[in-house]
Structure 1
């Protein structure tokens, strides 16, 4: 989502009255459909989906939502005294070195048990831009991509009853990159743990049709970015993504831990935004400083955070509405 789109969302929120569910339902369904399937730019359409959906929730419900964030985080190392893994000196590392360290760390984790098709991915995350746009969002997406559930008034004292919408991600064909969590997981499971092998597999899959205006590296980066956003990531596949990301030009490691909108600490690695020439436009990937899993991403414009999302909780649950 661009800065202009975020501004439009804030304007929609400013003075609009709270509408009843009957009046909101048709517009919500249409906007969610657009958010999930609308043709977006080559770089933005897949990896910006969490931001896009969040903006739709706020725009449709037309309320000002002030989030009450969880005090206790779900990942070790992200609260309290900032700390990284033992022996890790961010000031003395390059982005490729950090990503290789992260790849080795995640690769040592035991294999994941794949969720059932009827289970749900629960995510509570912050959405950040400027002070007027910050809020927390809860959503549930079925593992097979059949349904999406959410509360209509995120952050409110009374968020309203849980609403569920059919989205059928796996039935959309390959024109848009709206793969379900299951499709993402199963493709990631096929990736080798090495960077070059992962790049070869991504090019062969070609889930996002290459943009001829971009370089091969920029197209590769867009493919990697989509998969870094996947809700369920097998360790070997994530290790391969990190090693492939390490080959991308222009990567920079922030030499200190950064604090996300939920007050959680993370390691930040920046890469130039494909297709943006000049200025300081970058994607900033946030990694847990202990597990080195992806815990969020931010958009950097002219050196400042212009938007992003960071997970407070992410879990597999048996039904929509459950949090653990």
Structure 2
């Protein structure tokens, strides 16, 4: 039985699950997507999106992103002798990206063309990220601190490790939805339609409505990109699966002071959940949430007051690599 189905079975009938219950269920599902048991996870990892009406853990960005639908972002490959855009990546069209579908397809093609050597089962996948933390756990903030997280996952999925107070801390693993170890990720469907079908089957009560399916799939696919180093065909399938979800638009963002492509999906009419790409190489850069209108929500542990332009939940990917031992950094 799916873990989310088990949660749904505990809800009282005939009333449908409350917003807080759905929030808890979705939080648990995305927690599992991070790849370790909640009790074994380092306390400093605050990468989890929490939906409304629960109060969410957030991380403020250095700069608020200017959000706009249908933004055209121009590549920086220059022009040829005839004034035409020069391709930046072989085999991928040059020139401006006009919409999310085009950006996602270019990202998929770029992933397929990158050289890649898969890890041995005894090697480790290293992921380093910069997370901007707020000064409170509840709601958007304009002040905060920056954490750099360094995590290692053994490629066969048997162990994970993290750097805590200068030492390596090990933990066991458990099956996750979606999978978070390299071996399971490499076995995921590489057909985008089949990949989405599998995700829909695994999300339990969060997929009871069409919008629930789409938003939960978007979050799950974002977690796969955020926390892993993916085989090229898997990464391409993730981008093309996102391309199939309705409501994904192109926005404008800045990552560490530089322009970025932001793929945004509007959640409950006020929040853009954004996946950010390099506008030249189409590599995944990170994620953030941006309020596109003022919003006040109510959760079990307090109210959530958000102003238009607030940046939430910013995680920037710094490095990914395959290494031989936990603690090793590229």
Is 2:112 the counterpart of 1:120? no
**Aligned with residue 249 of structure 1, among 243, 246, 250:** 246
The aligned residue for residue 231 of structure 2 is 234
Seen in structure 2, the aligned counterparts of structure 1 residues 185 and 178 have a Cα distance that, compared at 3 Å, is closer
SS in 1 for 2:237: helix
What are the Cα deviations for residues 58-102 of structure 1, in whole angstroms up to 9, with x where unaligned? 79xxxxxxxxxxxxxxxxxxxxxx947643324xx0111211222
Q: Which has the higher contact order (CA 8 A, sep 6+)?
A: 2
CA distance in 2, matches of 1:297, 1:49: 18
**Aligned with residue 208 of structure 1, among 196, 199, 203:** 203
Unaligned ranges ≥5, structure 2: 1-23, 47-74, 78-86, 89-93, 134-141, 292-307
The aligned residue for residue 43 of structure 2 is 56
Scaled by the length of structure 1, the TM-score of the pair is 0.61
What are the Cα deviations for residues 191-231 of structure 1, in whole angstroms up to 9, with x where unaligned? 12xx434434544xx34335244424334334433433351
Seen in structure 2, the aligned counterparts of structure 1 residues 209 and 230 have a Cα distance that, compared at 3 Å, is farther
CA distance in 2, matches of 1:252, 1:238: 19
Is 2:187 the counterpart of 1:187? yes
**Aligned with residue 88 of structure 1, among 81, 91, 95:** 95
CA distance in 2, matches of 1:48, 1:305: 22
Higher strand residue share: 2
**Aligned with residue 165 of structure 1, among 160, 165, 170:** 170
The aligned residue for residue 158 of structure 2 is 146
The aligned residue for residue 75 of structure 1 is none
User: What is the aligned residue count?
Assistant: 237
Whether the 8 Å contact between 1:258 and 1:266 is mirrored in structure 2 is yes
Seen in structure 2, the aligned counterparts of structure 1 residues 241 and 308 have a Cα distance that, compared at 3 Å, is same
Seen in structure 2, the aligned counterparts of structure 1 residues 219 and 151 have a Cα distance that, compared at 3 Å, is closer
SS in 2 for 1:133: strand
Whether the 8 Å contact between 2:178 and 2:224 is mirrored in structure 1 is no
* RMSD between aligned residues: 3.3
Unaligned ranges ≥5, structure 1: 1-37, 60-81, 154-159
The aligned residue for residue 305 of structure 2 is none
Shift of 1:264: 5.7
Is 2:293 the counterpart of 1:297? no
CA distance in 1, matches of 2:227, 2:162: 19
SS in 1 for 2:276: strand
SS in 1 for 2:265: strand
Is 2:263 the counterpart of 1:269? yes
The aligned residue for residue 4 of structure 1 is none
SS in 2 for 1:191: coil
